Chain A
Amino acid sequence: QSALTQPASVSGSPGQSITISCTGTSSDVGSYNLVSWYQQHPGKAPKLMIYEVSKRPSGVSNRFSGSKSGNTASLTISGLQAEDEADYYCCSYAGSSTFYFGTGTKVTVL
């Protein structure tokens, strides 16, 4: 089993919407509605943005939303803002209390 697959980079202009994909297998993303997403600014610890595919923790902007179809999960950022420029990682439960992270996506606000 290897890391979940994400695009290396995604970019958009302020105000636009972007979507980051996260592709796994039928053993992880496809089997459980337990995908989470993390935002990481340079030199900082990751921050939980979405859990259980589409739930937002308290304090996270509703501009962030998550979904899943088959073996692929997605994170959508709407109304893109300069502060959203960061690295984003997906993570999936893979059974027996194990996890796999995605390869990471660098989001650039043009």
Chain B
Amino acid sequence: QVQLQESGPGLVKPSETLSLTCAVSGYSISSGYYWGWIRQPPGKGLEWIGSIYHSGSTYYNPSLKSRVTISVDTSKNQFSLKLSSVTAADTAVYYCARVGIVVVTATHFDYWGQGTLVTVSS
């Protein structure tokens, strides 16, 4: 059974960098699949942030691309999110997820972490 668990600070100051890690168990990241980050502001809808292929190739939401970095650490079986220059608008529950594939095309999010609330405030 694939399990994902987000971790990181719950409070980040404006203009600083938000950093989260997603630990994966039950599956080796290096074996395949894409791995992604999705966020949900309080009371609002879901927004795809970006994904990383097990090889390290990255794909980002165009609206966030200039501020986002996703990386993978196969030795620790985890992947990470960094979002720079945060503002109150970045306050959200952040989810990590495995991205299902058809051949090599990312298609859907099949396993999700429980989510972690990150608040941007001074």
Q: Do A and B bind each other?
A: yes
Chain A interface (Cβ < 8 Å from any Cβ of B): 1, 3, 34, 36, 38, 45-48, 51-52, 57, 89, 91, 93, 96-104
* Additional A-B contacts beyond A89-B45, A97-B53, A97-B59 (20; CB < 8 A): A1-B62, A3-B45, A34-B102, A34-B105, A34-B107, A36-B107, A36-B108, A46-B112, A51-B100, A52-B108, A57-B110, A91-B46, A93-B105, A93-B106, A93-B107, A96-B59, A98-B61, A98-B62, A102-B45, A104-B45
Chain B interface (Cβ < 8 Å from any Cβ of A): 34, 38, 45-48, 51, 53, 59, 61-62, 95, 100, 102, 105-110, 112-115
CA A19 to CA B100, docked complex, whole Å: 25
| Cβ contact within 8 Å between B48 and A99 | yes
Contacts of A93 in B (CB 8 A): 105-107
Count CB-based A-B contacts (< 8 Å).
Answer: 67
Contacts of A3 in B (CB 8 A): 45, 47
Output the nearest chain B residue to A102 by Cβ-Cβ distance.
B45
| Cβ contact within 8 Å between B107 and A101 | no
Output the nearest chain A residue to B49 by Cβ-Cβ distance.
A99
Contacts of A102 in B (CB 8 A): 45
CA A57 to CA B107, docked complex, whole Å: 13
Q: Considering the complex of A and B, which 9 residue pairs feature the smallest CB-CB distances, nearest first?
A: A36-B108, A97-B59, A51-B108, A45-B112, A99-B48, A104-B45, A101-B46, A34-B107, A97-B106
Contacts of A101 in B (CB 8 A): 38, 45-48
